[in-house]
Chains A and B, each alone.
Chain A
Amino acid sequence: MDGQLLAWWMLAIVGSLSAVMMVLSRNPVHSVLYLVANFLTLVGIYFLLSAPMMAVVQFVVYAGAIMILFLFVVMFFMSPEARRWLRPEIKSQWVFGTLLTVMLLTVVYIALSTAGRVADPDIVMGTPTIATSDRTADPRQELGHPAGLGTRMFSYHALPFEIAGLLLLAALLGAVLVARDERSEGRTHLVHEFEKAEEGVAEEVRA
């Protein structure tokens, strides 16, 4: 058994276990952390797949930034009230969960059984991917490399990329709109008052 395979097995086992534990864990903070662990194993798997850029993005963006946000939100809503709200188990969870799992497994099965037969869009574009070439003349053009990925994303797939960006922006604006309420208005008012008072003090000091 070579090192890579060993690493893969370890990552796969830890990853699957943490994914299961994420769902089963009663404590939301623990769930978040299991998800982080899962993402970290994904980082390792991406590295094994010779996709350092993907790995690092997974590491920085998901395991790092986004999960910290998750943690922040979860910790905020760990109040006794929220816990009471979380307590009752929805019976239909099991039904829907099983249904979705079966669907997902079907998709995975179909994908695996047809692998290699589907035309790679990038081959059509004329640039080989990791799957079709081990090492091209210029490693900077490979999909796993940041330069290759950047070129791909901002030239061939610029439009979908921008649309996704707009979508995220819309989501962000929506979140801001939802989060605004009367109380926060009051608070911003207070902050303004505070700033005014601060400036007043500053002027007095100057005078």
Chain B
Amino acid sequence: MAEIFTPEIVNLLVRGGLLIFVLLTTFAYLTYTERRVLSFFQWRLGPNRVGPLGLLQPLADGVKTALKQEMVPRKADKVLYFLAPTLTLSASFTTFALIPVGERVQMSSVPVAILFFLGLSSMAAYGLILAGWSSQSKYPFLGSLRTCAQVISYELALGLCLLVPILITGSLNINDFGNMYRAENWNWIYLIVLLPTTVLFLISSLAETGRTPFDLPECEAEIVAGYHTEYSSMKYAMFPMGEYIAMVAMSAMVVHMLLGGYHLDLGFVDLTYWAGDWKLGPPESWGWGAYGDALSLTAHGFATTMTFIVKLCALIFTFMWIRATFPRLRYDQLMRFGWKWLLPATLVLIFVTAALVGYFGPVHGTGADTAAQAAMEVTLNARH
């Protein structure tokens, strides 16, 4: 048996743990932010009790949720009942492993990341569906059927939307989406298709993550709380957790598709470039070895990550803004919109894109060739 804890493995484990920690914190503060932002929209005060400005609210919520009594329906399909929230959450976490959050700051650079992204979002849907089914009760079951139909309908549009930047860049690597704006042969004409595509992507991602105008799976006026009616305590908390993280992942995709990814490139000057290549992290003298390597980052990587986070926040705000504005759709409206409008619209966009790419030629992002080089293996994309 070879040595298990090779530097690569250590690197992966440390960064994976870090990613999960960051995502959980993000989730906790997203719940707070969402409540606060919605309160601003609605002339309310919002949670402002725990800690200054209510900033410790997520902590209190977490303690409360963890200490809640856990109830399992007697007739539930126990294995699936326990599996379902785990599935949702782990799928959402894994999605984030694929998404580059900065220049060379990424868990793993899978060459076919976009497709994996889609697959994982349907894996998360399995969790929701099974949650409803395994509860063996009426309303959760209806909720899970709704999730099923909704996810199937909108995942098509979601995937087809992603096809547009794929066609333009000729790459399945998410890095290339953000990079295409900086490419030598970038043509602003592609914005004609990218702009509507991003809007449609945003709409279908709302449906895919079950957020407000499309939150019929948990429509409280009709089916109690939908698929998670029978869940309590931490197992319940895992659903919103997965949902929020999926929302962040979708926002990240939009950032890569339309907002130029993690670059702060104004055309004449690339602002993050000035950060330089010096290393941030535990110094060598501490002797942390591979752990230190995993935790450190170049200044440039840090700057791009910050850029990305700022852009991401704008997108997440958009999600909250939409939630504050639109009422929930009726189910037949949802289906009609998905199949009769969204899907044809994305198909038209793909045709237009294909025509444009045929005429102007694809945009090769700076990372396209390296992606091809890495095609055969799941590479470790550390800062090395």
Contact = CB atoms under 8 A, between A and B. Distances in A.
B126 A75 contact: no
Nearest to A29: B133
Given A52-B110, A52-B112, A36 B126 contact: yes
A72 B122 contact: no
A56 B152 contact: no
Interface stretch (B56-64, B295-303, B353-361, B372-380): B372-380
Contacts of A135: 376
A69 interface: yes
A63 B116 CA distance: 11
Interface stretch (B142-150, B232-240, B266-274, B319-327): B142-150
A129 B148 CA distance: 39
Contacts of B172: 146
B123 A64 contact: yes
A139 B115 contact: no
B332 A191 contact: yes
Interface residues of B, number: 35
Contacts of A27: 77
B247 interface: no
A64 B87 CA distance: 13
A22 to B, nearest CB: 15
B376 A60 contact: no
A4 B375 CA distance: 17
A138 B376 CA distance: 12
Contact of B118 (A50, A64, A145): A64
A68 B152 contact: yes
Q: Is the interface of B mostly helix, strand, loop or mixed?
A: helix
B376 A68 contact: no
B24 interface: no
Interface string B123-155: 101100110010000000100110011011001
B55 interface: no
A44 to B, nearest CB: 11
Given A69-B152, A75-B144, A56 B115 contact: yes
A139 B375 contact: yes
Contacts of B159: 60
A176 B332 CA distance: 19
Contacts of B122: 60, 63-65, 68
Interface in B221-267: none
Interface in B34-87: 77, 80
Contact of B155 (A2, A65, A76): A65
A189 B125 CA distance: 32
A140 B125 CA distance: 32
B1 A1 contact: yes
A72 B148 CA distance: 6
A195 to B, nearest CB: 9
A88 to B, nearest CB: 24
Most buried by B among A2, A3, A64: A64
A50 B378 CA distance: 10
Contacts of A194: 332
Q: Is the interface of A mostly helix, strand, loop or mixed?
A: helix
A52 B113 CA distance: 10
Contacts of B110: 52
Interface string A18-52: 00000000010100010010000000000100101
Contacts of A57: 115
A76 B166 CA distance: 36
Given A68-B152, A139-B376, A146-B112, A56 B119 contact: yes
Contacts of B141: 75
B339 to A, nearest CB: 13
B115 A68 contact: no
A18 to B, nearest CB: 14
A61 to B, nearest CB: 9
Interface in A6-26: none
A1 B332 CA distance: 56
A68 B144 CA distance: 11
Given A59-B119, A139-B375, A144-B375, A68 B151 contact: yes
Interface string A150-170: 000000000000000000000
Nearest to A75: B133
B2 interface: yes
Q: 10 tightest A-B contacts by CB?
A: A64-B122, A56-B115, A59-B119, A60-B119, A72-B148, A56-B112, A139-B375, A64-B119, A140-B372, A145-B375
20 contacts: A36-B126, A59-B115, A60-B119, A63-B119, A65-B152, A68-B126, A68-B129, A68-B148, A68-B151, A71-B148, A72-B149, A75-B129, A75-B133, A75-B141, A75-B148, A140-B372, A142-B376, A145-B111, A146-B112, A191-B332
Interface of A: 1-3, 27, 29, 33, 36, 47, 50, 52-53, 55-57, 59-60, 63-65, 68-69, 71-72, 75-76, 135, 138-140, 142, 144-147, 191, 194
Interface of B: 1-2, 77, 80, 110-112, 115-116, 118-119, 122-123, 125-126, 129-130, 133, 141, 144-145, 148-149, 151-152, 155, 159, 170, 172, 332, 372-373, 375-376, 378
Given A56-B116, A65-B152, A72-B149, 18 more contacts: A2-B2, A29-B80, A52-B110, A59-B116, A64-B123, A65-B122, A65-B155, A68-B122, A71-B148, A72-B129, A75-B129, A140-B372, A142-B375, A145-B375, A145-B376, A147-B170, A191-B332, A194-B332
